Structure 1
Amino acid sequence: MNEAKIMPTPMHPSTSLDKDEKGKDVSEKEYRGMIGSLLYLTASRPDIVFSVGLCARFQSSPKESHLTAVKRIFRYLVGTPDTGLWYKKGSHFVLIAYCDADYAGDKLERKSTSGACQFLGEALVSWCCRKQNTIALSTTEAEYVSAANCCSQVIWIKNQLEDFSLSIQDQNILK
């Protein structure tokens, strides 16, 4: 993979993975090993969380199309070795959260996908991207579910900071 063509993004914007029942089977052991390595990397690379999560859904019967998507993530990582989290010393102490959701983005179950990130000052301290537990009946409902999950994470972060006798500024913003 070191000599492979470098990709500018972990997944092409128009990529839409599904079961691909007519596709050629690939080794489950190899596919799961690759997914495991990528899941390990998501702890410090929030830019690949969505793509890895999408590919991880097909570990039970991976096809060539899924393996191609995983290899693209690796090709993206080869081209971005210096990308990661950076925590600036002395940044302000304001908790800011962002969240978003798509509506029925999962082609198999018609469930929405929520994404959220929380910043403490300029430092990204928490992020997630996951398929929602329920099927939303509207875009608004999908957004509310995402906002509720994001708010619960913000409350947890705030409680953790209070346990360490740290207080954040009262300018909590949910965007």
Structure 2
Amino acid sequence: MSSSSKLDKDDGGQSVDITAYRGLIGSLLYLIASRPDIQFAVGVFGRFQTNAKLSHFTVVKRILKYLKGTQNVGLWFLKDSRFNLTSYSDADYVGCKIDRKSTSETCQFLGDRPIFWFS
């Protein structure tokens, strides 16, 4: 996803078919299990499912074009690889002395490979 792209509600934009937009987002959400490189962009544009505009639909189609050009990229799991799921997490509730915000982190491994992280 380009860092120069503007992300907004685009209230004045042309509306698109919500069913088609939601279908594309749903398919991409299913795909992020093996393609974590699109996870952020799909999450961002999933926020606009209730009132999708043509500008959002255009970017989602750009994600599909990216996927078409990078079909050999992704997570590959061998048949004989270990599938032990290990998860680590940490939380600091109301740990910041200034604004009393909490922080939490988690990291999950499938076998020896990290598959999900969040902070």
Instruction: Give the structure-1-normalised TM-score.
Output: 0.49
Relative to structure 1, the CA distance from residue 21 to residue 128 in structure 2 (aligned partners, 3 Å threshold; closer, same or farther) is farther
| Counterpart in the other structure of 1:65 | 55
CA RMSD of aligned residues (A): 2.9
- Which protein has greater RCO, CA pairs closer than 8 Å, 6+ apart? 1
2:27 is the alignment partner of 1:32:
no
> Equivalences for 1:26-175 in 2 at 5 Å?
26-87=16-77, 118-119=108-109, 122-124=112-114, 126-127=115-116, 146=119
Aligned partner of 2:10 in structure 1 is: 20
Matched-pair contact (CA < 8 Å) for 1:25–1:61: yes
The answer on whether the counterparts of 1:49 and 1:128 sit within 8 Å (CA) in structure 2 is no
Could you tell me which runs of 5 or more consecutive residues in structure 1 were left unpaired when the two chains were aligned.
1-10, 98-113, 130-145, 147-175
Deviation at residue 14 of structure 1 after TM alignment: 1.5
> Cα–Cα, structure 1 residues 20 and 115, in superposed 2: closer, same or farther, change >3 Å?
farther
Residue 13 of structure 1: CA displacement? 2.0
Unaligned stretches of 5+ in structure 2? 89-103
Q: 1:115 to 1:27 in 2, by over 3 A?
A: farther
1:46-100, CA deviations, whole angstroms, 9 ceiling, x for partnerless residues? 1111000001000001001100110111010000111111357789xxx8x8xxx
User: Moved runs in structure 1, 4+ residues, more than 2 A?
Assistant: 86-91, 114-122
CA contact (8 A) 1:45 1:84 kept: yes
C-alpha deviation, 1:128, in angstroms: 5.0
Q: Relative to 1, partners in 2 of residues 1:120 and 1:28: Cα closer, same or farther, differing over 3 Å?
A: closer
